[in-house]
Amino acid sequence: MPIVELHNIRKVYGSKIAVEGLTLTIEPGTMFGLLGPNGSGKTTSIRMMIGMTVPDSGSVSLFGRPFVRTALHRVGYLPEERGLYKKMKVLDQLIFLGQLHGLDETLARSRSLAWCERLEISETIAKKTEELSKGMQQKIQFIASLLHEPDLIIMDEPFSGLDPVNATLLQDTLVDLRKQGKAILFSTHRMDQVEKLCDSIALISRGKLLLSGTMREVKSQYPRNHVQMVFEGSDAFLQHPGIESAKNYAGHADILLRDEPAGQHVLAAAVASGVNITRFEVIEPTLEEIFIENVRASFGDAESGGKVDA
Amino acid sequence: MHNVWLIAKREYMERIRAKSFLIMTILIPLLMGGILGGAALINGRSGSLKHIAVVTDNPQFATDFGTELSDKNQSKVGVDVYPSSKPGILTTLEEQLKAKDSTLDGYLVVVPPAASGARETFQWQPRSKADVIGRSRVADAVGATLTREKLIHSGMGAKEVEALLQPVHLDSPGKKDASAAAFGSAYGMFFLMYFVILFYGMNVARSIIEEKTSRVFEVLLATIRPEEMLAGKVIGVGAVGLTQVGIWIAVALGVIQLKLVGSDIHIFPSLSQTIFFLVFFLLGYLLYSSVAAALGAITNSEQELQQMNIFLMLPLIACSVVIFTIVTNPETMLAKAFSFFPFCTPLIMYTRIVVGKPTPFAIGFSIVELVVTIAIVLWIASRIYRVGILMYGKKPNLPEILRWLKYS
């Protein structure tokens, strides 16, 4: 049973199409990366998923059933624009948010304390939010979205503004939750995190789905046609017909092949030409490259420059 | 309902615990007391004549005038009498009036009539030209003295004159207490309502704007509905105002009880009026708080909110204009119309209940009407709120709002 199913949803604000024809499925126990440039409709899609806005057409199902508000007790949400009550003490705040998610006070309190311990912010619980650093506030919001042990965790840019130590702490926490069978959806611009963490991704741009599937599926669509090479000797072999384009930085060459099999031919030609090869590696395309390529294409090359934000 | 309760409880507890609540609760009565006390002190000083001089050749007039003035004043007024023949008397008095250490508050010069049969003329020189109360007291005392002298002169006995000049009391047996109390409670309702809304009405709006700027709402709206949130805020913030006013009233009543043991103050002649007072006050407060919530939903900053303040006060000002005629004529068309206009119902219908005789149906209808209006105002406010915050400043059009309304 999929945790989230969006089917062909569409949302229009006035003349601006925020989301169009978006279909995606999130399975339990997976970490799902929702990618896209700024203003591509990620936040609108998330809001439609949890009933904060209503799609103009299409259907939203949570936990295998059409959307109902009671399902929200099983969802944890960390919005992109974060906010806490500035004057309220941390523990009171966590208990309040836990109660809103249907916990009773005792349970909300004990879980808050346990989570603060786990995320190493126990010393803050008696302080007011306004006395805390931005990173600490973010950890508190992170906790607030997990207190009620949701089966679906939605996090909009969960690691932005965190130092590497804390980012790793939260990443590890999310990985643990995935092991427990929770579905996790997060949106981010950091492709290295997506590559490391996500099982599946969806890439949207200008409100439309460009790519989706498991990480393997997505990557297998892109040819392994990029070679990095270190050599000594003449670079005449770079004129080989199997090479689309090449840049030679004094013995470090970046080579783009016409197709995958061409790699072997180029290597053979290089060996035959007598150059001394110390390294020859066929590189898998990075998610970042895939991202930029797709988003550029969606905007049309002319206007891509300033708008793509990877 | 559980969510409304949670929101209201948080709002209430956070505000009650804040230091500013304690400070305001103590400081405002102190300031008010200080201002009132200061004003009373100043009035007490300037308002009473303690020592005056009379320049006349008729010593009998001077004595009678002194008695008359002392009676009216209910305190002894020192009257110095000087014959007009005394050389340079006016200059001396003028100097005394100007001297800082003199206690003289003013002097009266009686100028004998030019022709026989005409009346004397009087000149009054006060220390303070602004003391109009003192001036009218002197004029009254002179008038009364002249009347008394003329009556005695034309042969009436002193006792008869005394009896004739007694002030007249109008007795209306039985009714007097109730009607005075009714007026008291109608005006009491008016001023309490006006004061509380002036003081606390905008707090609801402010707390909604605060939520918008801190962006907490996005987390909250992931679990609760905007109308639950607004209702919670109206109740929670509203309860804070009631608590503060409640503390003040309790303390004030306590002080009055201590000071005036035995003298019974009855603002509420009957239990039913007390109940109506509470019902209409609470409903009125809720209604105006809901309007404030709507204003908070429309605006994005305190400055914008300030300009909207007038919408909250306008119906109250309208009530204040008509309430004085309605108190005397509670069954006119005007009174009926105003008592069914929801924003005036709490004040005007209550006034009619106290001084007039609206039918039970009319009273019931007005209460239902109030409750429905509150629900409608909150409902509209919550729609504006949700559309407004999620659209980042874009104004929603009508079909969009209608679609929001359809959704659960």
Domain boundaries of chain A, sorted by first residue: 4-220, 226-283
Determine whether the interchain pair A54/B404 forms a contact, defined as Cβ–Cβ distance below 8 Å: yes
Q: Is residue B51 within a helix (H) or strand (E), and if so which, with residue range?
A: strand B51-55
What DSSP letter does each residue of B195-223 carry, written as one string?
HHHHHHHHHHHHHHHHHHHHTTHHHHHTT
Determine whether the interchain pair A87/B390 forms a contact, defined as Cβ–Cβ distance below 8 Å: no
Residue indicated by tokens 């002298």: B149
Neighbours of B320 (CB within 10 A): 14
* Residue A310's pLDDT band (cuts 50, 70, 90): very low
Contacts with A141 from chain B: Cβ below 8 Å: 219
Contacts with A81 from chain B: Cβ below 8 Å: 215, 218
Determine whether the interchain pair A52/B390 forms a contact, defined as Cβ–Cβ distance below 8 Å: yes
Report the residue of chain A nearest B386, measured CA to CA: A52
By Cβ distance, the residue of B214, B225, B408 closest to A86 is B214
Residue B230: its pLDDT value, please?
87
Please name which of A197, A181, A94, A104 lies closest in space to residue A146, comparing C-alpha atoms.
A94
Please name which of A37, A7, A20, A5 lies closest in space to residue A183, comparing C-alpha atoms.
A5
Any idea how long chain A is? 310
Report the residue of chain B nearest A78, measured CA to CA: B219
Contacts with B214 from chain A: Cβ below 8 Å: 83-86
Residues B298 and B388 sit within 8 Å (Cβ to Cβ): yes
Structure-block tokens of residue B73:
């004043």
Q: Between residues 220 and 279 of chain B, which touch chain A (CB distance below 8 Å)?
A: 220-225
Please name which of A8, A33, A16 lies closest in space to residue A178, comparing C-alpha atoms.
A33
Residue A114: its pLDDT value, please?
93
Q: Tell me, yes or no, if the pTM score tops 0.80.
A: no
Q: Is residue B52 within a helix (H) or strand (E), and if so which, with residue range?
A: strand B51-55
Please name which of A15, A23, A3, A12 lies closest in space to residue A204, comparing C-alpha atoms.
A23
Per residue of chain B (408 residues), what is the pLDDT tens digit?
Answer: 788 999 999 989 988 888 888 888 888 888 877 887 787 777 665 556 778 888 888 888 888 888 887 765 556 778 888 887 777 888 888 888 888 777 888 888 888 887 777 788 888 888 877 777 778 888 888 888 888 888 888 888 878 887 887 777 776 665 555 566 667 777 777 777 777 877 787 888 888 888 887 778 888 888 888 888 888 988 898 899 888 888 888 887 777 776 655 445 555 556 777 788 888 888 888 888 888 888 888 777 788 788 878 888 888 888 888 887 887 777 888 888 888 888 888 888 888 888 777 888 888 888 999 999 998 888 888 877 777 666 554 555 566 656 655 543
Give the CATH superfamily of A4-220: P-loop containing nucleotide triphosphate hydrolases (3.40.50.300)
With 90 as the cut, is the pLDDT of residue A41 above it? no
Determine whether the interchain pair B218/A54 forms a contact, defined as Cβ–Cβ distance below 8 Å: no
Residue B48: its pLDDT value, please?
65
Contacts with A69 from chain B: Cβ below 8 Å: 225, 408
A267 touches B: beta carbon within 8 Å: no
By Cβ distance, the residue of A53, A56, A97 closest to B390 is A53
B154 touches A: beta carbon within 8 Å: no
Contacts with B223 from chain A: Cβ below 8 Å: 72-73, 100-101
% of chain A with per-residue pLDDT over 90: 17
Determine whether the interchain pair B394/A14 forms a contact, defined as Cβ–Cβ distance below 8 Å: yes
B20 touches A: beta carbon within 8 Å: no
Convert the pLDDT of each residue in A227-272 to its tens digit.
888 888 877 778 888 888 888 888 888 888 888 788 888 888 888 8
Residues A127 and A121 sit within 8 Å (Cβ to Cβ): no
Contacts with A14 from chain B: Cβ below 8 Å: 394, 397
- Distance (Å, rounded) from C-alpha B152 to C-alpha B160? 9
By Cβ distance, the residue of A56, A85, A99 closest to B214 is A85
Quick one: CATH architecture of A226-283? 2-Layer Sandwich (3.30)
Neighbours of B336 (CB within 10 A): 17
Distance from CA of B407 to the nearest CA of A (A): 7
Distances (CA, A) of B348 to A24, A61, B286, B326: 59, 52, 16, 8
- Distance (Å, rounded) from C-alpha B184 to C-alpha B76? 34
Helix axes A134-144, A164-179, angle to 10 degrees: 10
Convert the pLDDT of each residue in A81-107 to its tens digit.
778 888 889 999 999 999 998 899 999
Amino acid at B344: C
Quick one: CATH architecture of B49-163? 3-Layer(aba) Sandwich (3.40)
What DSSP letter does each residue of A136-199 carry, written as one string?
HHHHHHHHHTTTT--SEEEEESTTTT--HHHHHHHHHHHHHHHHTT-EEEEE-S-HHHHHHH-S
Report the residue of chain B nearest A128, measured CA to CA: B14
Convert the pLDDT of each residue in A70-82 to its tens digit.
888 889 999 887 7
* Residue A110's pLDDT band (cuts 50, 70, 90): very high
B218 touches A: beta carbon within 8 Å: yes
Q: Which of B2, B4, B10, B209 to mutate to test the interface with A (most CBs of A within 10 A)?
A: B10
Q: Between residues 45 and 64 of chain A, which touch chain B (CB distance below 8 Å)?
A: 47, 50-54, 56
Please name which of A103, A142, A97, A151 lies closest in space to residue B221, comparing C-alpha atoms.
A97
Residues A42 and A48 sit within 8 Å (Cβ to Cβ): no
What DSSP letter does each residue of chain A carry, written as one string?
--SEEEEEEEEEETTEEEEEEEEEEE-TT-EEEEE--TTSSHHHHHHHHTTSS--SEEEEEETTEE--GGGGGGEEEE-SS----TTSBHHHHHHHHHHHTT--HHHHHHHHHHHHHHTT-GGGTTSBGGGS-HHHHHHHHHHHTTTT--SEEEEESTTTT--HHHHHHHHHHHHHHHHTT-EEEEE-S-HHHHHHH-SEEEEEETTEEEEEEEHHHHHHTS---EEEEEEES--GGGG-TTEEEEEEETTEEEEEESSSTHHHHHHHHHHHTT-EEEEEEEEPPPHHHHHHHHHHHHH-GGGHHHH---
- Distance (Å, rounded) from C-alpha A109 to C-alpha A92? 8
Q: Is residue B225 within a helix (H) or strand (E), and if so which, with residue range?
A: none
Q: Is residue B78 within a helix (H) or strand (E), and if so which, with residue range?
A: strand B78-82
A99 touches B: beta carbon within 8 Å: yes
Report the residue of chain B nearest A105, measured CA to CA: B6
Please name which of A231, A216, A185, A205 lies closest in space to residue A80, comparing C-alpha atoms.
A185
Determine whether the interchain pair A88/B215 forms a contact, defined as Cβ–Cβ distance below 8 Å: no
A179 touches B: beta carbon within 8 Å: no
A256 touches B: beta carbon within 8 Å: no
Residues A49 and A238 sit within 8 Å (Cβ to Cβ): no
A134 touches B: beta carbon within 8 Å: no
Greater confidence (A178 vs A234) lies with A178
Residue indicated by tokens 């490391």: A196
Neighbours of B298 (CB within 10 A): 15
- In the three-class reduction of DSSP (H, G, I as helix; E, B as strand; rest coil), residue B312 is classed as helix
With 50 as the cut, is the pLDDT of residue A226 above it? yes
ipTM greater than cut 0.90: no
Residues B149 and B64 sit within 8 Å (Cβ to Cβ): yes
Determine whether the interchain pair A82/B215 forms a contact, defined as Cβ–Cβ distance below 8 Å: yes
By Cβ distance, the residue of A69, A77, A97 closest to B408 is A69
Residue ranges per domain, chain B?
Answer: 49-163, 177-257+265-406
Residue B167: its pLDDT value, please?
74
Residue B47: its pLDDT value, please?
53
Mean of pLDDT over chain A: 85
Contacts with A13 from chain B: Cβ below 8 Å: 391, 394
Dihedral (CA of B56, B60, B64, B67) sign? positive
B216 touches A: beta carbon within 8 Å: yes
Q: For the sheet containing B51-55, what is the strand order?
A: B78-82, B51-55, B106-111, B121-126
Residues A188 and A285 sit within 8 Å (Cβ to Cβ): no
Residues A36 and A204 sit within 8 Å (Cβ to Cβ): yes
Residues B260 and B172 sit within 8 Å (Cβ to Cβ): no
Report the residue of chain A nearest B4, measured CA to CA: A100
Residue indicated by tokens 């199997």: A242
B206 touches A: beta carbon within 8 Å: no
Distant-in-sequence, close-in-space partners of B282: CB < 8 Å, separation ≥ 6: none
Helix axes B271-298, B345-355, angle to 10 degrees: 170
* Residue A220's pLDDT band (cuts 50, 70, 90): confident
- Distance (Å, rounded) from C-alpha B108 to C-alpha B76? 17
Residues B209 and B299 sit within 8 Å (Cβ to Cβ): yes
Report the residue of chain B nearest A44, measured CA to CA: B390
Q: Which of B1, B214, B382, B383 to mutate to test the interface with A (most CBs of A within 10 A)?
A: B214
By Cβ distance, the residue of B215, B225, B397 closest to A83 is B215
A86 touches B: beta carbon within 8 Å: yes
